[in-house]
Amino acid sequence: EDKVVQSPLSLVVHEGDTVTLNCSYEVTNFRSLLWYKQEKKAPTFLFMLTSSGIEKKSGRLSSILDKKELFSILNITATQTGDSAVYLCAVVRGINDYKLSFGAGTTVTVRA
Amino acid sequence: EPEVTQTPSHQVTQMGQEVILRCVPISNHLYFYWYRQILGQKVEFLVSFYNNEISEKSEIFDDQFSVERPDGSNFTLKIRSTKLEDSAMYFCASKGSGGGSYNEQFFGPGTRLTVL
Positions of chain B with pLDDT under 70: 98-102
Report DSSP letters for B46-83, one per residue: EEEEETTEEEEE-TT--TTEEEE--SSS-EEEEESS--
Inter-chain residue contact B109 with A43, CB threshold 8 Å: no
Amino acid type, B42: K
Rounded to the nearest 5 percent, the helix, strand and coil shares of chain B are 5, 50, 45
Residues in chain A: 112
pLDDT attached to residue A75: 98
Q: How far apart are CA A53 and CA A42, in angstroms?
A: 29
- Selecting from B35, B89, B102 the residue whose C-beta is nearest the C-beta of A32 gives B102
Amino acid type, B116: L
| A97 contact partners, CB below 8 Å, separation of at least 6 | A29, B48, B55, B56
Positions of chain A with pLDDT under 70: 94-97
pLDDT attached to residue A94: 64
Q: How far apart are CA B22 and CA B25, in angstroms?
A: 10
Inter-chain residue contact A104 with B104, CB threshold 8 Å: no
pLDDT attached to residue B114: 97
Residues of A near B (Cβ–Cβ under 8 Å) read 31-32, 34, 36, 41-45, 48, 50, 88, 90, 92, 96-105
CB B57 within 8 A of CB B100: no
Gap from A17 CA to chain B (nearest CA, Å): 26
pLDDT attached to residue A95: 62
Q: How far apart are CA B33 and CA A5, in angstroms?
A: 22
Residue range B58-91, pLDDT digits in tens: 999 999 999 999 887 899 999 999 999 999 999 9
